[in-house]
Amino acid sequence: MTKRSDIERVLHVWMVDGPAVIPDRVVDVVAARIAINRQRRTWPFPGRTTVTPIRLMAGLAAVLVLAIVGFNFLPSLSSNSGGSPPPATASAAPATVPPTAAPTPTGRPGPTPKTITSRPFDSAPNLAISFDLPVGWSEQDAFEGPRGRTDPDGVMVLFLQAQGVFSDPCQWDVAGTSVEDQPGDLALGADALEFANALHANSAYTSTGAPTPISLGSRAGYAVEIQLPADLDFVGPTCDVPAGDQDGQYIVFGGTGFFPQGPGNRWQVSVVDVGDVQLAVVLSSFAETPAADLAAARALIESIEITP
């Protein structure tokens, strides 16, 4: 097993290999292209950064629009009398693009909820999770609300495999093995209730109550809510720093390793058994996360369909 302290050295050595000389053809192409591409000149006023021609024209267009609207409201000088509404003017803002039926490959948030099908686990390629992504949410490596995922008011939903609970999330891998093998760790089997009970029982963080039965994707499971500490340096050097490493991480349960998104992170963990897989759906939020964003996250989870 490669220890954590070795991997950084391995990666450094591995990355040394490869091209390190720019091909002449690239230089030639760049020279030809810059000969026909103008530089963006900076605005000659102090304190101003580059103003592109497009931005300048947009600004002038906005001024022109305001002038036209203002003129039409002038009394008795225009052909319209009695304060009739001015003719519609073209807005400087681009028209809203109507939603398309097909999901966009880059996952950009669209104006209406879109259905996404995710196959999050390489070890279980047949496990598919379909759900409705709320309006304003974005899809990257997880699904996050309009304010992002981090403190103080972010929200995120993600899918993980429930694999083992570390007894001390801040000192979970001092031996560099990346698995639950230290005293107090719980290496779990395929049982959602056992996993939920383990989270509830761990005193390293606060559980708001015993696991409660839930239905997720038409499957019976359990949910437990945990409150992570508010005073811990989750990504700094104080948490689980084996010799030779530079930073530590706070990890509650193993497998893929989900990190807190900030102090006081609150996780609502719903776990169901899907064949041999313990699927954990985590709703990550904070005390200041707006109620609307929380509601959208819950709606996402309630729309989940699991195949098989």
Give the C-alpha separation, 4 to 101, whole Å.
Answer: 45
User: Could you tell me how many residues of this chain bind other proteins (CB under 8 A)?
Assistant: 67
- Judged by CB under 8 A, the chain residues 15 through 34 that form the site for other proteins are 15-23, 25-27, 29-31, 33-34
- Centroid of chain to Cα 71: 47
Find the part of the chain contacting other proteins (CB under 8 A) among 9-17, 70-78, 205-213, 293-301. 9-17
76 Cβ contact list (under 8 Å, min separation 6): none
CA distance linking residue 300 with residue 114, whole number of Å: 11
Distance, CA of 242 to CA of 193 (rounded, Å): 32
Which of 72, 130, 150, 182 contacts other proteins by CB under 8 A?
150
Residue 152's closest CA among 299, 297, 58, 286?
Answer: 286
Q: For the window 152-171, what string marks contact with other proteins as x by the rule CB under 8 A?
A: ----x-xxxx-x--------
Start-to-end CA distance of the chain, whole Å, equals 34
Distance in Å, CB of 202 to other proteins, minimum: 20
Task: Give the separation between CA 248 and CA 239, rounded to whole angstroms.
Answer: 5
Task: Report, in Å, the least distance between residue 120 CB and other proteins.
Answer: 4
CA-closest candidate to residue 104, choices 112, 96, 92: 112
120 binds other proteins (CB under 8 A): yes
Nearer to other proteins, 1 or 291 (CB): 1
> Applying CB under 8 A, does 96 fall inside the site for other proteins?
no
Question: Pick from 242, 103, 110: which is nearest to 178 by CA?
Answer: 242
Alpha helix positions (H), the chain = 4-16, 24-35, 53-72, 192-201, 291-302
Q: Does 117 bind other proteins (CB under 8 A)?
A: no
Site for other proteins in 179-198 (CB under 8 A): 179
> Which residues, 206 to 265, sit near other proteins by CB under 8 A?
234-235, 247, 249, 255-259, 261-262
Question: Looking at 167, 178, 182, 227, which residue binds other proteins (CB under 8 A)?
Answer: 178
Where does this chain bind other proteins (CB under 8 A)? 1-2, 4, 7-23, 25-27, 29-31, 33-35, 37-42, 49-50, 106, 119-123, 140-142, 149-150, 156, 158-161, 163, 178-179, 234-235, 247, 249, 255-259, 261-262
